[in-house]
Amino acid sequence: MKAVICGAGIAGLALAWWLERAGWEVLVVERAPERRGAGYMIDFFGPGYDAVERMGLLPRVRERARDVAGLRYRDGGGRVTGRLPYAAFQRLQDGRVLTMMRGDLEDVLFEALGPRVEIRHATSVEAVAEAAGHVAVTLTSGAVERADLLVGADGVHSRVRALVFGREERFLRYLGYHTAAYLFTDPEVAGCLGERTEMEMLEVPGAQAGVYRLGGDVCATVFAHRSPAGSVPEDARERLLEVYGGLGWLLPDVLAHCPPSPRLYYDEVAQIEMESWTRPRVALLGDACQAVSLLAGQGASMAVAAACVLAEELARDGDPVAAPLRYEARVAPAVRRKQRAGRRAADWFVPATRGRLRLRSALLRMAAVPSLTWVLKPVLTTPADRLSGLDPRLSR
């Protein structure tokens, strides 16, 4: 059996891992000319955590986790206004939470792949044709691959989705925010952040900027701000300077390092909602079909778990027509719950007014007391935190 997977992100690499172990020949095509960089910090918990444990990769994922004690919030001038200690979050997740760079999780998955997975960079899918007994995938290189299954794991702006299911506008729900991230090296900023392991979050109504010292003089940033326009501005760097340029504390020094795209990651915050994301011999996976957005904080986790479910369904009867349908049916309810929760949590993560910022600070103070941690439960956990029925027979 042969699979073509479009996208060497977390979803694509996780599925490649499972399929290779099940004896498939796997070709992964990736648009980027080389392995992507570290990206941004993610909290990894819930179904994806369970899935990497089942894959036997939890020790390697743990090795790449960062020591983050929590979030420390500051106002526009740098005054500390509140803290979210990760101990509270850990308690809510029974200690099964890791904080890491997205790229580090991708690295672990990539390094675990064997020789039967071929990865072709600077390559995408040009056309897809369903044929009797196979799917014909024309690549941008001109090559035509005859496969049993094509999987679009190519993110929110999926090319496979556009080719097989239709235009992005039909499926993309814009949530009213833009987000950005980049890494930079600056001994002075790193020195000011010191050895503390809290992520510093500078925020004003409708916008927040996070800075974290990754190690040595390297720092990671993440930004999220309200924006009525969904489309990404032509000059993303300029937009970032416009929104955050007036804020104080370390931010002017941090912004001085802002690179142009593509080293600057900048995108709209959106969810992908589809009635159905499989066709005979074609399936979407990860953000391409189930993006929950950074506001829900479990996109990477859900992507790894969904890859596990798709692999399990393919292993059940080896039927690339029926298995994707069963995979979709198992994953869809959890995705919808998580998406609803993400939309509800938006105002918690980026409060729109000073009053709401103050309210959140008060809740954070309460949550720091162990017996009152439960006040955070509605925003930090949802019923979608587990995907049931992952089959242990697939573990190594």
Ligand X SMILES: Cc1cc2nc3c(=O)[nH]c(=O)nc-3n(C[C@H](O)[C@H](O)[C@H](O)COP(=O)(O)OP(=O)(O)OC[C@H]3O[C@@H](n4cnc5c(N)ncnc54)[C@H](O)[C@@H]3O)c2cc1C
Provide the minimum distance between the beta carbon of 67 and ligand X in the complex, in angstroms, as a whole number.
16
Q: Which of residues 111-140 bind ligand X (CB under 6 A)?
A: 124
Q: Please name which of 126, 122, 117 lies closest in space to residue 12, comparing C-alpha atoms.
A: 117
CB nearer to ligand X: give 9 or 351. 9
CB atoms < 10 A from the CB of 116, how many?
13
Provide the minimum distance between the beta carbon of 187 and ligand X in the complex, in angstroms, as a whole number.
25
Provide the minimum distance between the beta carbon of 143 and ligand X in the complex, in angstroms, as a whole number.
14
Provide the minimum distance between the beta carbon of 150 and ligand X in the complex, in angstroms, as a whole number.
12
Q: Near ligand X by CB under 6 A, which window of 196-204, 227-235, 295-303, 344-352? A: 295-303
CB atoms < 10 A from the CB of 6, how many?
30
- Provide φ and ψ at 266, rounded to 5°: -145, 130
Residue 311 touching ligand X (CB under 6 A)? no
Provide the minimum distance between the beta carbon of 132 and ligand X in the complex, in angstroms, as a whole number.
26
SS (H, E, C) the chain: CEEEEECCCHHHHHHHHHHHHCCCEEEEECCCCCCCCCCCEEEEECHHHHHHHHCCCHHHHHHHCCCCCEEEEECCCCCEEEEEEHHHHHHHCCCCEEEEEHHHHHHHHHHCCCCCEEEECCCCEEEEEEECCEEEEEECCCCEEEECEEEECCCCCCHHHHHHCCCHHHCEEEEEEEEEECEEECHHHHHHHCCCCEEEEEEECCEEEEEEEEECCEEEEEEEEECCCCCCCCCHHHHHHHHHCCCCCCHHHHHCCCCCCCCCEEEEEEEECCCCCEECCEEECCHHHHCCCCCCCCHHHHHHHHHHHHHHHHHHHCCCCHHHHHHHHHHHHHHHHHHHHHHHHHHHHCCCCHHHHHHHHHHHHHHCCHHHHHHHHHHHCCHHHCCCCCCHHHCC
CB nearer to ligand X: give 195 or 367. 367
Q: Answer left, alpha or beta for residue 81, where phi above 0 means left and psi between -120 and 50 means alpha.
A: alpha
Residue 297 touching ligand X (CB under 6 A)? yes
Q: Near ligand X by CB under 6 A, which window of 8-16, 227-235, 255-263, 270-278? A: 8-16
Binding mask 150-189 for ligand X (x = CB under 6 A): ---xxx---x-------------------x-x--------
Residue 385 touching ligand X (CB under 6 A)? no
Residue 93 touching ligand X (CB under 6 A)? no
Residue 222 touching ligand X (CB under 6 A)? yes
Candidates 299, 320, 324, 351; binder of ligand X (CB under 6 A) is 299
Provide the minimum distance between the beta carbon of 70 and ligand X in the complex, in angstroms, as a whole number.
14
CB nearer to ligand X: give 92 or 322. 92
Q: Near ligand X by CB under 6 A, which window of 192-200, 235-243, 293-301, 364-372? A: 293-301
Q: Determine the size of the site formed for ligand X (CB under 6 A).
A: 34
Provide the minimum distance between the beta carbon of 267 and ligand X in the complex, in angstroms, as a whole number.
6
Residue 346 touching ligand X (CB under 6 A)? no
CB nearer to ligand X: give 110 or 188. 110
Candidates 286, 324, 342, 351; binder of ligand X (CB under 6 A) is 286
Residue 261 touching ligand X (CB under 6 A)? no
Residue 268 touching ligand X (CB under 6 A)? no
The contact set with ligand X (CB under 6 A) reads: 6-12, 29-32, 36, 40, 42-44, 102, 124, 153-155, 159, 179, 181, 222, 286-287, 294, 297-301, 303
